[in-house]
Every structure is written in C-alpha cells, then in structure tokens.
Structure 1
Amino acid sequence: MDEPTLRIRPMTLADCDRVSEIRVRGWQHAYRGLVPRPYLDRLSVAADAERRRERFARGNGTVVNLVAERDDRVLGWAAVGPYRDGEAYTADAELYAIYVDPAHLGRGTGRALLDAAAGRCPAGARLLLWVLKGNAPARRFYERAGFRADGAEESFDADGVPVPEVRYVRAPAG
C-alpha cells in the first residue's frame, strides 16, 4: 500500500507545540554524543513551545516557517530567511533550522522540506546553513543536496563545552 502524500505548508500558531516536540526530540536524537547529555536532558518541549509561540506572534514575515505533514500529522519543520552576518542581514538566505521527527527519518521528509525552503529564497541568493561539525549524517544529507562546507567555523557553548559548527553553502540555482 502506498504511503499517503507528504504535504508542505506554512506553519501556523497551532503547530507550535508539535514543532517544538520535533525540535527537542530531534536535538536529543541527533546531537547525542555531540552535545553534553545534561544539556540535552534539560531541553523542554513546553519551554520551547512557549518561546516559539512568542517568536511566531511577533514575526515580521522575514522568516518563513514550513511544516511537512502526512495524514494531518506534522512530521517536520524548517525555517528559512535572510542570512545573519553578525547583527546585519545580507542578500543571501539562511536555513535556520530543519528537523524531522526521528521516527520518520529517511523517508524524504527532510529533503522535501529543504527543497520547499530553498524555493522560498530570493532569486540569485546563495543558501547558507550551520551544522554541527560532528554530525556526519546531517553533513552527508546537505552534501547530497548540493551544499559544501566553505571553511567558516564557529562554536556555541553548551554547559561550558564548546560545540563546533561548520558553515555550508549552496550556490543559487540556475
């Protein structure tokens, strides 16, 4: 029997709880061994959902939030908008986030979200993203989609432990 069709649509305020569940469970699944365990264990779906609702309510349209759903169940989320270079935005686009429910990985949901997010970027814009340096599965996913590490690296602090990220870029289509 065929799997029901995957649908990509704009995120709504009503999606915030499910998106936060996917994001937190995604972090706990994908970043195990890369981010300190106590940090991951403290992640809260409820707190994330509250922050997400606040951000969503005050959004100005520069960030596009998309969800992937099948049978009216949200399975993934992506956010894309202008590239942040310090405090300023550039003409390039940035994939801020892409997460798929860990139970639904490997079924094309991430690629469908990535393609839809890329389709929302300005014509001629490069698409950039940051990925954990040690996250080999995510790096392979992006490389298969035409992204390449450009040599830029930075870290964020998780419980006093620096977690290195690398920047990936994909040239404009065409």
Structure 2
Amino acid sequence: MVWPMGEEAEVAIRTARVDDAASIARVHIASWQQAYEGIVPADYLRALDPADRTERWATDLRNAERDGVRTWVADDGGRILGFASVGPARDEDASREQEEIYSMYLDPTMWGKGVARDLMRTVLNAVRSGTPVSLWVLAANERARHFYRRHGFTPDGSERMEEFGGAPLLEVRLRRG
C-alpha cells in the first residue's frame, strides 16, 4: 500500500527485511521513550540500547519464516516510519489458529498521520478471515488502547503483570474476532 505524505513523500507498507533491523530498532526505542514516558521508569527508557535492540530485531527477522511471524514496515523511501508484527498467539489459552499482534510502533513524529492505521489494515488483511487476533497493551497506555478500540479490539478480561525497569506494570489483553 502506498499513500501520499504531504506533497513530496509517499509511504509504502512493505515486508520487513533483515537489513531493516537498525531502523526498526530506532523506531522501537523512540516510540517506547515517548509513549511510555511517565509509565515505565525513566532510567529504563534512557537505558534502551540501540545495538542490543538491532541485534534482537535482526535475529527475529532472520527467524521469522520458521516462527510464522510476519513483520511489515512503513517506509517513505528514505526511512522507516513504523512497523508491525503478527504471528501465532503465544498465550496458554490460545487456540492453534489464533494470531497475536506482537508489536506495532511508530516514530512519534508520525503519530496521528494515518501510518498506524495503514499498518493495522495490512496486519488484519494478512490474517485469515475469521481468525481471532489478540494483543497485549499496558493498561496505562490510553493512546494505544484507544487506537486498538477503533480497530475493533476489546478487553477479554485477561490481565498480567510485567516488570519493566523494576516496576510491575499491568497489561491487559485485547481481542478481535
């Protein structure tokens, strides 16, 4: 999918490649630092390491086909603006056919410009019709929860505590379909 971005740039949603790992890591860290400010401890956010995150993304992208994970990036031809990943649901109570959105992050300068909407549409179009899709979101991340509600995701009652930088934070599971 390609859509105009102002007068000069267009954004394409395409399958991620291993050589996108550093750009995905950059977006991942910038998004976390902005979106989770005041939610996740500041020391943890400041300590996010681009080299470590790049290596993790490169490994994930190399293993994607084996693991059944699909990742897309929003690319304006000069830089990666965002990314999203979906694959088999990892929860104990998930059925075999259920999918899970593992990640969806944007460069904070792209928030509110339609890039996330197009990434979400790409993800949902890639999932077999009628397949339930779940995701986990920090309960305190109202911006993300609102975005997911607009795309048909609702809380299913499952919650878990995850630790980030020594702080236990509540995550809620959302489901669609």
Q: TM-score, normalised by structure 1?
A: 0.92
Q: Distance in 2 between matches of 1:91 and 1:15?
A: 28
Aligned Cα root-mean-square deviation (Å): 1.7
Instruction: Give me the TM-score of the superposition, normalised by structure 2.
Output: 0.90
Task: Give me the whole-angstrom Cα distance separating, in 1, the residues matched to 2:142 and 2:8.
Answer: 28
SS at the partner of 1:33? coil
Q: Which residue of 1 aligns with 2:31?
A: 26
> What SS is found at the alignment partner of 1:138?
helix
6, 14, 17: which is aligned to 2:11? 6
Distance in structure 2 (CA, Å) of the matches to 1:85 and 1:73: 33
Structure 1 residues 66-104: Cα deviation after superposition (integer angstroms, max 9, x where no partner): 001123321000000111123976311111000000111
| Correspondent of 1:39 among 44, 61, 64 | 44
1:168 and 2:174 equivalent? yes
Gaps of 5+ in 1: none
Residue in structure 1 matched with residue 3 of structure 2 by the alignment: none
Say yes or no: does 1:100 pair with 2:113.
no
Question: Is the partner of 1:6 in helix, strand or coil?
Answer: strand
Distance in 1 between residues matched to 2:63 and 2:70, nearest whole Å: 13
* Number of positions where the alignment pairs a residue of Structure 1 with one of Structure 2: 171
Q: Is the 8 A contact 1:84 1:90 kept in 2?
A: no
Q: Is the 8 A contact 1:82 1:89 kept in 2?
A: no
2:55 pairs, out of 50, 54, 71, with 50
**Alignment partner of 1:5: what SS?**
strand
**Superposition misfits of 4+ residues, deviation over 4 angstroms:** none
8 Å contact kept, 2:74–2:83: yes
1:81/1:121 contact within 8 Å kept: no
Secondary structure, counterpart of 1:98 in structure 2: strand
Match in the other structure for 1:68: 74
In structure 2, give the amino acid aligned to 1:92: Q
SS of residue in 2 equivalent to 1:90:
coil
Describe the SS at the equivalent of 2:23: helix
**Identical-pair percentage:** 36
* Contiguous gaps of at least 5 residues in structure 2: 1-5
Letter in 1 for 2:70: V
Pairwise CA distance, 1:37? 1.0
Q: Does 1:17 align with 2:22?
A: yes
- Residue 145 (structure 1) aligns with: 151
